[in-house]
Structure 1
């Protein structure tokens, strides 16, 4: 493969790219050829400033390029690479009214997290939160946030300019004690990965780079409270890479109130989450179906907000952060669990949801997350495994 010709063709695509922000994902089929193209790119971008707009994901052998099309590229190198669109992806939440101080949100109590804290508070578990960033000044998050990464403005702290990421962070691991809010896993460590802008919008390529960063930094579990209607080969590829690396991904199903749901929750390697309301019914806005692994509290959920405040939000985004927090409580006790084992335990320990008129339980998928039942089942499974090990050896 002539790497110089490859990059010359890509330079042409970049120079012709429209100003509306269209991008393409260029993925190599062969690892050696990708390594050669990557090496050439590192050399050329010193002399060609336009190539600095390109981003790379070695994990899935891909480059992310500002371009509207890539016909010339495909005509020349169709046998060694593939090209797909880099679509936008959206958050799964709707903001409601502002609130004053929040101590113990109803969702944290609904999944029995406080009763589980005598067994686990999520200590040492590293949670990647791919979202809009986080408010590092919020007093309830001060001890919960690690540095993370800002994919939109490299080198800067992943500060939240939207609010959604801070809300998710609060439900996951707020540790305000008696004077502030408590999250599901208050001693877990959050790594904000800012992939979404102030409007709550991101490119798929930014999500890929975020997951790539989480794999490289040995994150234990990733919270992804967003989705889109269409499949993405690149996104599925990086999700599978994280899965094989032992990282569980918890993803929201979407807020269309329909049977079915969004990607990446629909990928089999993720833990798909729907939302329940305060009456323990599947929320009217929540997507549902047999692919849903578990439901979490998602209606009028209070949590942390920007400028040291609090706000209620509804959505499968909120439900996902409850489930990720419960999973973190278990991983603190059972760090050896694989993503598949974690998903099975979440499904097995979920409590039945209440049915709306005309609903059938089988059509909804999983039940409601229960942190206490999850930890008890995890402890039983460990004791059983230890007994088997003693008997065999």
Structure 2
């Protein structure tokens, strides 16, 4: 686990990192006294737990990494005392961010094949019966609607222990489960990855994959670094295959890098949105880390979306502008690298279902990506082509374009 230009000690000593935002946009606010502490010994864990002013919790990553993380509330004097310990690698604030989705179009009443799903070749795979059945996808986000007709059949049974988890409260009429989506973002992300092909609504890249809601963001979009790290650990400990994080921060986050390392060692591929800062060298974290597949966003014309972050952390590009997918009360078109990442997540599910080991599945996508003439800092290896990854040709079509079923038509 390394970070460009920083020694491990410098990186892990950095404080104030790790705020998360859904990649469709964010405004930061801080709660100054809550921290994530990275430690390398049980004594360090005990020390952090003993001085927390509120009940703490531990994220044990030692099955696959040297790290244990403790989330707690500490005074300034106690954080300095913790930093002085040789077995404490970092003390970082556990930031919140506010998030905002970006609607981009109204809907039409008919069933829609989203342009991105067709553009990356997924509809060609559906035609030959490739649907990613048996692959498990964790969606680290605002939750997933438990009742949306495009998603209900693909959700892991709620009665199964650990099938879904929530680290924040769900609020509102949509909250039929603790992990339900009270913001809409997670449902949209899940739909792009794995909406079922049921003859109405929309279809995802991997329409028979199993979805797991890992709710770390509330209805206002607030997400904690510690909750996201815990969610990644949960996916790895349950032997799922892919985990999607359509969220990020411009700050380095050693806790998320450690969680990504844990996932990879456990055989789970973590995917992350590159961010919406729209500038060179602006790829956010965790997407910029080597442990994550960092995804930039393209338009229907195969151009880089103007909002998309770009830089060395981009591994691959995928459709991210005017993407139609389910939301709890129907359907909506949204734009963001949040929308690009689940195309890659669904594609990884397809590749893994075809017999490729998770440890090399991302390499397969990079090797078969389509060069659309953009710089590597914008497209990475190229535009996602999941059909080519499984050995099929397709016409590069764009489905029903940017149209979307009418809102409320679910």
Cα displacement string for residues 184-218 of structure 1 (whole angstroms, at most 9, x for unaligned residues): 10000010100011121211111111111111111
1:282, 1:354 within 8 Å by CA — same for their partners in 2? no
Q: 2:166 matched to 1:150?
A: yes
Aligned to 1:94: 102
1:133, 1:158 within 8 Å by CA — same for their partners in 2? yes
RMSD: 2.7
Cα distance, 1:363–1:124 mapped onto 2, change above 3 Å: closer
Count of residue pairs brought into register by the alignment: 343
Residue 78 of structure 1, CA deviation:
1.7
SS in structure 2 of the partner of residue 177 of structure 1: coil
* 33, 38, 55: which one aligns with 1:27: 38
Q: 2:346 matched to 1:325?
A: yes
2:31, 2:95 within 8 Å by CA — same for their partners in 1? no
TM-score by length of 2: 0.77
Deviation larger for 69-78 or 219-228: 69-78
Q: Which has the higher contact order (CA 8 A, sep 6+)?
A: 2
2:314, 2:377 within 8 Å by CA — same for their partners in 1? no
> After the TM superposition, which residues 133-212 of structure 1 pair with which residues of structure 2 at under 5 Å, given as runs?
133-146=143-156, 147=158, 148-153=164-169, 157-212=178-233
Distance (Å, rounded) in 2 between the aligned partners of 1:90 and 1:76: 28
Distance (Å, rounded) in 2 between the aligned partners of 1:145 and 1:230: 33
Cα distance, 1:89–1:270 mapped onto 2, change above 3 Å: farther
Distance (Å, rounded) in 1 between the aligned partners of 2:195 and 2:223: 25
Distance (Å, rounded) in 2 between the aligned partners of 1:193 and 1:100: 31
Residue 371 of structure 1, CA deviation:
1.1
Cα distance, 1:100–1:362 mapped onto 2, change above 3 Å: closer
Residue 51 of structure 1, CA deviation:
4.3
Aligned to 2:134: 124
Distance (Å, rounded) in 2 between the aligned partners of 1:202 and 1:311: 22
Cα distance, 1:208–1:351 mapped onto 2, change above 3 Å: same
Aligned to 1:10: none
Aligned to 2:254: 233
Cα displacement string for residues 238-263 of structure 1 (whole angstroms, at most 9, x for unaligned residues): 11111111111111101111122100
Aligned to 1:380: none
Distance (Å, rounded) in 2 between the aligned partners of 1:76 and 1:272: 31
1:93, 1:316 within 8 Å by CA — same for their partners in 2? no
Aligned to 2:116: 107
Cα distance, 1:346–1:75 mapped onto 2, change above 3 Å: closer
Distance (Å, rounded) in 2 between the aligned partners of 1:128 and 1:303: 17
2:136, 2:240 within 8 Å by CA — same for their partners in 1? yes
- The structure in which a higher percent of residues are helix is 1
Cα distance, 1:363–1:158 mapped onto 2, change above 3 Å: closer
SS in structure 2 of the partner of residue 272 of structure 1: strand
Residue 72 of structure 1, CA deviation:
6.3
Q: Which runs of 5+ in 1 are unaligned?
A: 1-18, 378-393
Distance (Å, rounded) in 2 between the aligned partners of 1:375 and 1:366: 17
Q: 2:83 matched to 1:83?
A: no
SS in structure 2 of the partner of residue 135 of structure 1: coil
Cα distance, 1:368–1:24 mapped onto 2, change above 3 Å: same
Cα distance, 1:163–1:76 mapped onto 2, change above 3 Å: closer
Q: Which runs of 5+ in 2 are unaligned?
A: 1-29, 62-66, 159-163, 171-175, 393-410
Aligned to 2:24: none
Cα displacement string for residues 45-76 of structure 1 (whole angstroms, at most 9, x for unaligned residues): 9xxxx743x22211241211134535366169
Q: 2:316 matched to 1:294?
A: yes
Cα displacement string for residues 56-115 of structure 1 (whole angstroms, at most 9, x for unaligned residues): 211241211134535366169623324222223566852334424442111111111011
Aligned to 1:4: none
Distance (Å, rounded) in 1 between the aligned partners of 2:184 and 2:247: 14
Distance (Å, rounded) in 2 between the aligned partners of 1:75 and 1:84: 11
Aligned to 1:374: 389
Cα distance, 1:75–1:207 mapped onto 2, change above 3 Å: closer
Distance (Å, rounded) in 1 between the aligned partners of 2:43 and 2:271: 33
* 324, 329, 349: which one aligns with 2:368: 349
